[in-house]
Chain A
Amino acid sequence: MAEKDGISRREVLSGGLRGLGLLGIGTATGALATRDRSDDEVWQIDPDACIQCGLCATECVLEISAVKTVHSHGMCGYCELCTGYFEPDPVNLDEGAENQLCPTGAIERTYVEHPYYEYRIIPDLCVGCGKCVKGCNMFGNGSLYLQVNPDRCVDCNRCAIASACPAEAFRLVPRPTPYLLRGKEGT
């Protein structure tokens, strides 16, 4: 078309569209970035919605899942026969591997006093399969539960486990209070 002062119609049009594009991106970004939030959010599991299906161990993008078992000791019954620790039908009531529920031996069982035993999770060994959690919730106090460790979580755009979770137990919680916990720590 006719050129005015060396600027063609196409350049004007493309400039206008470019301005519109910048405005659109700016508006969308601004609207999202100024949204009410104290800080970022992190993925957490609602322990009451979790059904221990075992997908946490396999669906996470990490080789070893960011989900691990957390133990609220204040809720624990210190049972000698812990259903989160022992197979439902143990050969003997001892710490032999054949009697343990945990596939990686990530639960440490120590004698406190008759007839109480203390159970500690070794986070480095836990793979988040939830076998102990299932046992504890089914027969015990529910002091064991699965939770996302924010220090291991890589903050995917959308959590792969959350997408697969059949119970829709994953929640986004504000980063300053990154844990959905049970027991007295849950306050």
Chain B
Amino acid sequence: MSPQHRITRRTRRSALRSKSPRSECLKVRTAERQKRPKASESRDLRPSTFRPSTPEGPATAIWLLVLLALALPALGIERFPPPDFSGGHEIPETVVPASQARTQAWLDVAMLALGLGLASWISLRLRSRKGLVILSIAALAYFGFWRRGCVCAIGSVQNVALGLADPGYAVPLAVIAFFSLPLIVALMWGRGFCAGVCPHGAIQELVLIKPLKVPHWLDQPLRLLPWIYLSLALLLATTGGLFIICKYDPFVGIFRMGGPRGMLLLGGGLLVLSMFVGRPYCRWLCPFGALLGLLSRVSRFRPSVTPDHCSRCRLCESACPYGAIHTPTTDDSSRDADARPRPLALVVLIPLAALLFGWLGGKVGLASVAWHPTGELASQVAMAEAGTLPEPAPDEITAWRQAGADRAALSTAIAVLERRSLFLGRLFGAGFGVAAALHLVRVRFPRATADYVTDPADCVSCARCFTACPYERLRRGETVQLPVEGGGRA
């Protein structure tokens, strides 16, 4: 290789380096490297010297390499210039596999839309439990085991929140579709997504063999958990891009047939629990289910247990494993006795709860800085400076030092992060307050009904109650013994 050739190569590489999106400090390092005596290019250090001509050859070579490495700690430096092959050997092109086509994502969105349409149609018009079971199996096979739980509507909440909070983050279109389509369907036809599209719902639904009743007083407070989980997940997603819903997802380990032991244990445990308790994840954890339930409360169409007449036999309530069918509160449906305190309670409770939990959320927001990667790094840096950091140094510290160990930039980043976390913590805390107030009012002042009806927020449209209702079975042409009027209220 001629010296001129070598210089042009080097200049071109420096030009490439400065073009690439790298931090200033690395540019400076490149400049320093050029000023330095070019040890790497001296004849003595050419690879040919390392040929083990004598038995002690490799050891000498390694010593030379160690010395060389100490002299040149920089990254990606051309220590050994590519050789000029006398035999005319062609340097091969770098092998890179082609990018995956976009068709897979659009196929997923199409399957989602199809599934949502089918689930709504089967649960509201066909009223067929068998149809929903078949759809659930198909959804579990496609979205669960074939697509391995990615893209996931439950996790998409975090992407959308991060997208709204950070203008620089472009949410993939497929993720936007997975977020918005189930919600729109919930506003129109209820939780069709939970009924037959979501693989998480399907896997719990299909293993439910002996549903035990969970008492109302335990079930309803537990239903606040998803809102806490959602607020926390949104806070962490918007402040630091931490996606805890995905990280602590119980079932993806099962879909992928492998994963961290904690994830598999959680998934397995929850699955065993779902054999006896209906959909524990959907009811008491799923953050997306909380949103779907909220929107379903104002849905345009909702399943009615009986096709025409309700004799209050209570068979549907016993059949519902999710506690979503409420006992009638009055004999006369036109007289809504409990309607009056409800608006009053809402007007008083919502601002109070929003203020209280907004304040609390701010505290949580500030505390969450410590879980953020930057916050963790800052505490490790502080420990390193105090000399209390255990050896060997964690990878984060290594990476930070490699990037230039900029102390001022780190403290600025922490200050920005704290302001942001405080604001977003208050925002999501207030949001949780509103949701909690709505939930409390709904539980404390239930709607007056004369018939057994489904609670649209809690109902996942599983269609079990239809097959339990004697009037529905009569409509289907089965011979049934009609129960005594008002039997369930005795």
Closest CB in chain A relative to B188 CB, distance in Å: 8
In the bound complex, do residue A81 and residue B50 qualify as a contact, i.e. CB atoms below 8 Å apart?
yes
Chain B residues with Cβ below 8 Å from A74 are 82, 91, 94
Contacts of B156 in A (CB 8 A): 157
Residue of B nearest to A71 (CB): B94
* A35 CA / B76 CA spacing, docked (Å): 36
Residue A70 interfacial (CB < 8 Å): yes
| In the complex, chain B residues whose CB is within 8 Å of the CB of A113 | 85-87, 89
B160 near A32 with CB under 8 A, answer yes
- Bound complex: CA of A166 vs CA of B81, how far in Å? 31
Known contacts A28-B164, A93-B58, A139-B65; A158 and B170 CB within 8 A of each other:
no
Chain A residue at minimum C-beta to C-beta distance from B179: A29
Q: Which residue of B lies closest to A14 (CB)?
A: B298
Asked if A29 and B176 make an inter-chain contact with CB atoms under 8 angstroms apart, the answer reads yes
A179 to B100, CA, bound (A): 12
Q: What's the minimum C-beta distance from A136 to chain B, rounded to whole angstroms?
A: 9
Asked if A21 and B402 sit within 8 Å, CB to CB, the answer is no
Q: Please, which residues of chain B bring their CB within 8 A of the CB of A42?
A: 99
Q: Are A80 and B76 in contact (CB under 8 A)?
A: no
Chain B interface, DSSP helix/strand/loop, else mixed? loop
B79 interface residue per 8 A CB criterion: yes
Interface string of A10-41 (1 = CB under 8 A from B): 00001101100110010011011101110111
User: Which B213-271 residues have C-beta < 8 A from chain A?
Assistant: 241-243, 246-247, 252, 256-259
Report B475 CB to chain A, min CB distance, Å.
25
Contact B85 A116 (CB under 8 A): yes
Contact digits for B159-186, partner A, Cβ 8 Å, 1 yes 0 no: 1100110010111111110011001100
Within 8 A of A (CB), among B143-166: 147-148, 150-152, 155-156, 158-160, 163-164
- Give CA–CA (A48, B403) in the complex, Å: 9
User: Is A83 within 8 A of B65, CB to CB?
Assistant: yes
Segment from B134-142, B273-281, B391-399, B424-432 that makes contact with A? B391-399
- Report which of B76, B89, B243 forms a contact with A141, defined as CB distance below 8 A: B76
Rounded to whole angstroms, the CA-CA distance of A28 and B85 in the bound complex is: 59
- Per a CB cutoff under 8 Å, which of B80, B97, B171, B179 touches A151? B97
B172 touches A155 (CB 8 A): yes
- The residues of A that contact B95 with a CB separation of less than 8 Å are 70-71, 120-121, 123
What's the Cα separation between A176 and B295 when bound, in Å?
37
CA A175 to CA B179, docked complex, whole Å = 21
B87 surroundings in chain A (CB, below 8 A): 112-113
Q: A35-B170, A158-B155 are in contact. Are A141 and B78 (CB under 8 A)?
A: yes
Instruction: Please state if A17 and B85 are interface contacts (CB–CB under 8 Å).
Output: no
- Contact between chains at A40 and B105 (CB < 8 Å): yes
Contacts of A37 in B (CB 8 A): 170
Residues 63-83 of chain B, each 1 if its beta carbon lies under 8 Å from chain A, else 0:
001101100000111111111
Contact between A21 and B298, CB atoms less than 8 A apart: yes
Question: Hey, which chain B residues are within 8 Å of A36, CB to CB?
Answer: 170
Q: Is B449 an interface residue (CB 8 A)?
A: no
State whether the Cβ of B351 lies closer than 8 Å to any Cβ in chain A: no
- Asked whether, in the complex, the Cβ of A76 is within 8 Å of the Cβ of B100, the reply is no
| B246→A139 contact, CB < 8 A | no
B69 touches A139 (CB 8 A): yes
The answer for the CA separation of A131 and B252 in the assembled complex, in Å, is 29
With an 8 A cutoff between CB atoms, is A97 at the interface?
Answer: no
At the interface, yes or no: A129 with Cβ under 8 Å from chain B? no
Question: Bound complex: CA of A55 vs CA of B93, how far in Å?
Answer: 28
B50 touches A79 (CB 8 A): yes
- For residue B68, which residues in chain A have a CB less than 8 angstroms away from its CB? 139
Tell me, in angstroms, the Cα distance from A18 to B86 when the chains sit together: 76
Q: Which A137-159 residues sit within 8 Å CB-CB of chain B?
A: 137-142, 147, 149-158
- On chain A, the residues within 8 Å of B92 by CB distance are 73, 118, 120
A40 to B246: give the CA distance in the assembly, Å. Answer: 20
Bound-state CA distance A32–B169 (Å) is: 9
Q: Does A5 contact B (CB under 8 A)?
A: no
Q: Are B170 and A112 in contact (CB under 8 A)?
A: no
Contact status A78-B100, CB under 8 Å: no
Closest to B397 in A: A166
Q: Is the CB of B399 within 8 A of A49?
A: yes
Quick check: is B22 within 8 A (CB to CB) of the other chain? Answer: yes
Q: A73-B94, A154-B148 are in contact. Are A61 and B100 (CB under 8 A)?
A: no
Cα distance, A167 to B167, chains bound together (Å): 23
Q: Which of B22, B58, B99, B187 meets A21, CB within 8 Å?
A: B187
A87 CA to B446 CA, complexed, in Å: 71
Tell me the minimal C-beta distance from A108 to chain B in angstroms: 11
A125 interface contact, C-beta 8 A: no
B51 in the interface (beta carbon within 8 A):
yes
Whether B79 pairs with A51 at a CB distance below 8 angstroms is no
Q: Is the CB of B47 within 8 A of A79?
A: yes
What distance in Å separates the Cβ of B136 from its nearest Cβ neighbour in chain A?
Answer: 22
Q: For the complex, is A88 an interface residue (Cβ under 8 Å from B)?
A: yes
List CB contacts (< 8 Å) of B417-435 with chain A.
none
Interface residues of A (CB under 8 A from B): 1, 14-15, 17-18, 21-22, 25, 28-29, 31-33, 35-37, 39-42, 47-49, 51, 53, 55, 61-63, 70-81, 83, 88-90, 93, 112-116, 118, 120-121, 123, 137-142, 147, 149-158, 160, 163, 166-169, 172, 175, 178-179, 181-183, 185-187
- Listed by A's residue number, 14 A-B pairs whose Cβ atoms lie within 8 Å are A40-B102, A48-B26, A51-B402, A61-B259, A70-B94, A81-B47, A83-B65, A90-B58, A115-B51, A137-B75, A149-B97, A156-B150, A181-B94, A185-B93
Contacts A48-B76, A61-B256, A172-B169 supplied; 4 other A-B pairs, CB < 8 Å: A37-B170, A81-B58, A88-B62, A147-B96
Interface residues, chain B, with chain A CB atoms under 8 Å away: 16, 19-20, 22, 26, 47-48, 50-52, 57-59, 61-62, 65-66, 68-69, 75-83, 85-87, 89, 91-100, 102, 105, 147-148, 150-152, 155-156, 158-160, 163-164, 167, 169-176, 179-180, 183-184, 187, 241-243, 246-247, 252, 256-259, 295, 297-300, 336, 339, 373, 394-396, 398-399, 402-403
Q: Which 8 A-B pairs have the closest CB atoms?
A: A77-B80, A142-B76, A167-B399, A166-B395, A158-B243, A157-B155, A79-B47, A150-B99
